Structure 1
Amino acid sequence: MYELQVENMTCGHCVRAVTQAVQEVDAAAQVEVDLASKSVKINSATPLAPLKSAIADAGYPVTSAA
């Protein structure tokens, strides 16, 4: 389980875009987005780097990861 801080998320479209970006890398990934805290939790066996890159490429900078 990864927990990321992701900037520029403000609405449901952002949630869908981030979720789709992650699921393009790992179709089985479970993604939970919290707009209020700008956090994204990802349950995936895929390494973190390609997931972060996919989110950033969708226009949402990842500012921290745990």
Structure 2
Amino acid sequence: MPTSAKKAFALRLDPALYAAVERLAADELRSANAEIEVLLREALARRGVKPKAAASARRGRPPKEDNQP
């Protein structure tokens, strides 16, 4: 299984709050997890905090190595 560059952790939310996040996520065609990340980034931006951009994962097949005869 590939490792994720994102930090995984358990988050306990009030069920009504999570339901609201799920509705918002569905309206914006996102997962609840992605919606929570967007909401956190927006909240941080309003406070003047800019987290470093994570290095994006390289997609596709790795290049062939030319060290074979």
Q: Give me the TM-score of the superposition, normalised by structure 1.
A: 0.32
Q: Which has the larger radius of gyration?
A: 2
Q: Which has the higher helix share?
A: 2
Q: Which protein, 1 or 2, shows the higher relative CO under an 8 Å CA cutoff with sep ≥ 6?
A: 1
Q: Give me the TM-score of the superposition, normalised by structure 2.
A: 0.31
